[in-house]
Amino acid sequence: MFDILTDKLTGVFSKLRNRGRLGEKDIDEALREVRLALLEADVNFKVVKDFIAKIRGRCIDQKVLESLTPDQQVVKIVHEELIAVLGPESNKLSQSPQPPSVIMLVGLQGSGKTTTAAKLALHFRKAGQKAVLVAADLRRPAAIDQLLQLGKQLDIPVYSDRAAKDAVAVCEAGRAKAVELGVHWAILDTAGRLHVDEELMDEVRRIRERLQPAEALLVVDAMTGQDAVRVAEEFHKKVGVTGLIMTKLDGDARGGAALSVRAVTGVPVKFVGIGEKADALEPFHPDRLASRILGMGDMLTLIEKAQEQVDEKKALELEKKMRQATFDLEDFLEQVQQLRKMGPLTQVLEMVPGFQVLRKKMPTGDQAEDNLKRVESIIRSMTPKERHNPTLIDGSRRKRIARGSGTTPADVNQLLNQFKEIQKVMKSLAGGGKLKPHKMMGMLANRR
């Protein structure tokens, strides 16, 4: 996400660091580059204008210019103003006094509404809350089939009525089903269109008036840029939405919609979709996203993702092995598998402070994923004894492991050398040394 913008902004701040003391001219020159970077990222022009004006007003303060670390002060100000643009509001969803709370999802056709409904239900289940999906898109029969299929895959109940003609009646029956099942949420997947029209708005308004949902969330496709912002404006004016869910943010290298939509509409972003998998939906945290955009990483989200995947007992065992410097290839394989469960490698690494520098020195995307698969394959082709004691692996064993994993002896040799480096890091930890997160991540992914 935001690769292009992040590269340009980190470049601007790097130039400031090299100048030492800063004057007004230095600030203006840097802000010109920031403005261009934002406009090229398809951020709304008025949002950019106001953003730059606020930063300049704060940066030319004598306390900043005369500071011993003016470059750090500038980055701090940009970070704070970026959070203000993204929206300092809480992303928590409102709930009804009595369950079930109703969430109405609205949006144009193709924005990912139906998939998002299922992702949202799964998100609630992880938090210990149950939901019913309501197939209220009666204009597109495939939407009902899709929701039923997703419900079956994820073991989430779905209410549907193919014979129904009125979406409002379906939504009311769906809520009644949620009451019957005693769940916390009823998620309404309403109809969409290819464009905003009165017929669509009328149906959405009628559902909103009759069911009085706790949340009316607009689902927009981040990759459509300023079109997504315009759609959000229209829906909010005509229907009144309480929040936004931005889908396909992982495919948006520019980020213009995400950086504009809250400032333009005044509607907070509640969730972001960051992939096709059912669990690829994250609560929106403006401060964390601002840190990612500025190349500062996002350790809180990384820790949360790790906690979802890591068994506490195994984590304690691993910590003990690290302290005793007995970390072996079996443990290494387990760490690679857990890393892959946390999501696409590039997304995980974006959360690691310092990754912006590391990214240019290592493969990303499909190549990085392939590298991890190759690591798994090589280790799986070893015997238990070889995994626990890699020094046993001589030339003939390398050839056997290479044949079994579909790789070459050179690939096996490279992994063994890489593992030796990791063991050195573990010994450093055992001796009280510090492990830099991006160094460990790089070791896991940087295989050519």
Q: Which CATH architecture has domain 3-86?
A: Up-down Bundle (1.20)
Strands 131-136 and 243-247: unpaired
CA atoms of 385 and 380, how far apart (whole Å): 12
pLDDT at position 206 is 92
Tokens of 325: 């410097």
pLDDT at position 437 is 43
Phi-psi sector, 429: left (phi>0), alpha (psi -120 to 50), beta:
alpha
Tokens of 445: 């992914």
**Is the alpha carbon torsion for 105, 126, 88, 112 positive or negative?**
negative
CA 138 to chain centre: 31
DSSP 224: G
Tokens of 49: 């204008």
CA atoms of 18 and 353, how far apart (whole Å): 20
Q: Is 2 helix (H, G, I), strand (E, B) or coil?
A: coil
What DSSP assignment string belongs to 354-415?
THHHHHTTS--HHHHHHHHHHHHHHHHTS-HHHHH-GGG--HHHHHHHHHHHTS-HHHHHHH
pLDDT at position 30 is 87
- The domain 101-293 is placed in CATH, from the list 3.40.50.720, 3.30.360.10, 3.90.870.10, 3.40.50.300, at 3.40.50.300
Whether the Cβ atoms of residue 336 and residue 373 lie closer than 8 Å to each other: no
User: Closest Cα to residue 268, out of 89, 402, 57, 388?
Assistant: 89
Residues in a beta bridge with 105:
189, 217
pTM metric for this prediction: 0.69
Query: Which residues in the chain come in under a pLDDT of 50?
Result: 354-355, 357-363, 433-445, 447-448
Integer angstrom CA distances of residue 429 from 319, 321, 330, 423: 10, 10, 19, 10
Whether the Cβ atoms of residue 40 and residue 4 lie closer than 8 Å to each other: yes
CA atoms of 60 and 25, how far apart (whole Å): 10
User: Closest Cα to residue 136, out of 221, 198, 216?
Assistant: 216
149-170 pLDDT, tens digit per residue, is 999 999 999 999 988 889 999 9
pLDDT at position 306 is 58
Tokens of 75: 């980055």
Tokens of 178: 């949620």
User: Closest Cα to residue 169, out of 188, 145, 142?
Assistant: 188
Q: What is the CATH number of domain 300-445?
A: 1.10.260.30
Burial-class residue 379 by CB neighbours within 10 Å (0-12, 13-18, 19+). Answer: buried
CA atoms of 56 and 448, how far apart (whole Å): 44
Hey, where are the domains in the chain?
A: 3-86, 101-293, 300-445
pLDDT at position 439 is 45
Tokens of 310: 């890591």
Integer angstrom CA distances of residue 59 from 26, 67, 287: 10, 11, 20
